[in-house]
Amino acid sequence: MQDFKFNDTMTRLICVSSGKGGTGKTTVTSNIGAALTQFGTDTIVLDANLTNPNLGFHLGIPLYPNTLHDVLKGEAHITEAMYIHNSGLRVVPAGLSIEDLVDTSPDNLSDVLLDTVGEPDFVLVDSAAGLGNESINAIEASDEVLVVTNPNLPAVTDALKTVNIAEEAGTDVLGVVVNRKTGHESELGEDEIESMLGHDVIMEVPEHEKVQEALAVKKPMVHHEPDHHVSERFKAVAAEVAGMEYEPDLEEDGFITRLVDKLR
């Protein structure tokens, strides 16, 4: 893997969007953010799901005095709602209470994101599920979008809507992550998904109980089981996003994982 060299005047705002709930978009966001941090980048993950935020739970920081809601209301600066994960990843969570929704609008999300530009290398925006005002604002406020889908027709159809919104907004589509793949014969193949969406599939990430286990202990998969083949796939996506060379171990269980299991 090559050393990461970055231009500290160039922050990339990347929206992670799906067009549909249940695809595992927040799991993808937290793991790519964690992997980018492991690669030596300065990365922020921001929860732009204002109605049903979950990013804080994935990273083990569900409670915080200031959130993105406070920033959008003009009651706090973005730096006051930014928390440093023990891995070095910076996190901007959204509020969890019903009161947080009062007088909160995503319309000025673009201005908030502009306040992050300059210092970090990457800002990953975890958009809301669906294609409502929240998710559209997140896509329009970002420079690039990473599309997350599942390998079934409803999810890919909604992902196509996301692609169309991004293209209409002038937001570059980085590519597609096919998440929660089970290998069932009814699932769409990589070629079919690429043909429907008109963009390359960066990686297929299988459904695995270890991902749910990582969520239960409030850790990204790349921290919980760093040598697992699922973690390797998330790292490969992060490397692709950053333009780095990375050769993932995509065996069903990586060598270290197999060795640990044997010792257990």
Q: Express each pLDDT in 146-189 by its tens digit.
A: 999 999 999 999 999 999 999 999 999 999 999 999 999 999 99
Query: What's the pLDDT band for 234 if we cut at 50, 70, 90?
Result: very high
Nearest CA to 187 out of 160, 206, 202 is that of: 206
Return the structure tokens found at 238.
């992060």
Assess contact for 62 and 16: CB atoms under 8 A: no
pLDDT over 70 (residue 144): yes
Question: Radius of gyration of the chain from Cα atoms?
Answer: 18
Q: Say what the pLDDT of residue 100 is.
A: 72
Q: Say what the pLDDT of residue 8 is.
A: 46
pLDDT over 50 (residue 44): yes
Q: Higher confidence at residue 257 or residue 102?
A: 102
Q: Say what the pLDDT of residue 3 is.
A: 46
DSSP3 helix / strand / coil % (the chain, rounded to 5): 40, 15, 40
pLDDT over 70 (residue 194): yes
pLDDT over 60 (residue 215): yes
Q: What is the pLDDT of residues 50-101, one digit of tens each?
A: 999 999 999 998 778 899 999 999 999 999 999 999 999 999 999 887 777 6
Return the structure tokens found at 5.
């060299």
Query: Which stretches within the chain are classed as H helix?
Result: 25-38, 55-58, 68-72, 109-114, 133-141, 153-169, 190-197, 209-216, 221-224, 229-242, 255-263
Q: Is 105 left (phi over 0), alpha (psi -120 to 50) or beta?
A: beta
Q: How far apart are CA 125 and CA 135, in angstroms?
A: 10
8-state DSSP, 95: -
Q: Say what the pLDDT of residue 2 is.
A: 45
Mean pLDDT over each residue of the chain, to the nearest integer = 91
